[in-house]
Amino acid sequence: MSGYKTRRGKDISFIIGITILTFLGILPLFHIIATVFINGVPIIAKKGISFLTNTLSNGGIGPAIAGTFILIFLSSLIGLPVALLVGIYAYEYPESKIGRATKTLLQIMLEFPTILVGVFVMSMIAIPMGTYSAIAGAFALAIILMPYVAVYTQEAMREIPFTYREASFGLGLSRVKVIFQILVPLSKRGILTGVLIGLAKVAGETAPLLFTVGGLYESYPASITEPVGAIPLLIYTLVQSPSKADHMMAWGASLILLLIFLLIFIPIRLKLREVRL
């Protein structure tokens, strides 16, 4: 009986300890969200819809919002197809020289300083073009996006039982059909998780944009070959100012950036049904 009580006490202590550590782990996240809301809501409530549509000189961040969506769209258009194919190749040929090199390179790219990506793209695109541009920023963000999507694609496909692959070949399906009609759909939850994490990463990036997009806040972008603004870059610019009004603008822009991320991330995660094997 005493042994049972001892084990019961250890179980309860373990559960309490895990609960406390979990709470401490997520507390900073909720603190950040609460701080952004507390400081951002007043400036948005004060300015209303004009905060989302006006230019910076008129007290709004409209061009920065437009630029952020343009950069996310272009970087996804450039990076996602390549990342998916790279992830599929790394899964399909894990023991080949190229496959092993690809996996190593992806792991390196996950931790690679993003500011160096910006410098690289500046030298390869911005300088030859003679101007900052949305396309240069999109290429930089696509490079940052790709390893997340590729790694999650590879890992998601590895979780699919090998029997599904054998059964598909047994039905006479080609390798291409097995991959794209059987394995990829079964892996869609893990793949989409990688896509969302990659998009969240690039949506909040500032360092590579310092060298590529230039910043455009007094008019809306007219071309992808011209400078463009972005919310993270605008926040960085505003917090450098000693003006309290600029700091309030930065809090408002931070809240908009957070809402953009949550409005994209949460509905997709909730609607995506888990594939049960």
**What are 40-52's pLDDT values in tens digits?**
999 998 888 889 8
- 48 within some domain: no
**What are 71-82's pLDDT values in tens digits?**
999 999 999 999
Q: Within 13 Å of residue 53, how many CA atoms lie on the same side as its CB?
A: 4
- 217 within some domain: yes
- 5 within some domain: no
Q: How far apart are CA 236 and CA 238, in angstroms?
A: 6
pLDDT on residue 128 = 92
Q: How far apart are CA 56 and CA 218, in angstroms?
A: 6
- 13 within some domain: no
pLDDT on residue 123 = 93
pLDDT on residue 66 = 92
Number of domains in the chain: 1
51 class by beta-carbon count within 10 Å (0-12 exposed, 13-18 middle, 19+ buried) = buried
**What are 87-132's pLDDT values in tens digits?**
998 888 888 888 888 888 888 888 888 999 999 999 999 999 999 9
* Token pair in block for residue 135: 């396309």
- 221 within some domain: yes
**What are 202-230's pLDDT values in tens digits?**
888 888 999 999 888 988 988 899 999 99
pLDDT on residue 275 = 42
Q: What is the mean pLDDT of the chain?
A: 86
What mean pLDDT comes out for the span 23-27? 86
Q: Is the pLDDT of residue 266 over 80?
A: no
Q: With the CA atoms of 155, 161, 163 and 167 taken in that order, what torsion angle do they form, in degrees rounded to the nearest 10?
A: -60
- 9 within some domain: no
- 4 within some domain: no
Give 9 or 209, the one with higher predicted confidence: 209
pLDDT on residue 78 = 94
pLDDT on residue 15 = 86
Q: Is the pLDDT of residue 276 over 50?
A: no
DSSP three-state, residue 228: strand
For 86-105, give one letter per residue: b (16+ CB within 10 A) or e: bbbbbbeeeeeeebeebbee
CATH number at residue 235: 1.10.3720.10
Q: Within 13 Å of residue 158, how many CA atoms lie on the same side as its CB?
A: 12
- 50 within some domain: no
What mean pLDDT comes out for the span 174-185? 84
Contact criterion met (CB below 8 Å) for 71 and 61: no
pLDDT on residue 3 = 61
pTM: 0.85
Domain extent for 202: 60-271
pLDDT on residue 5 = 66
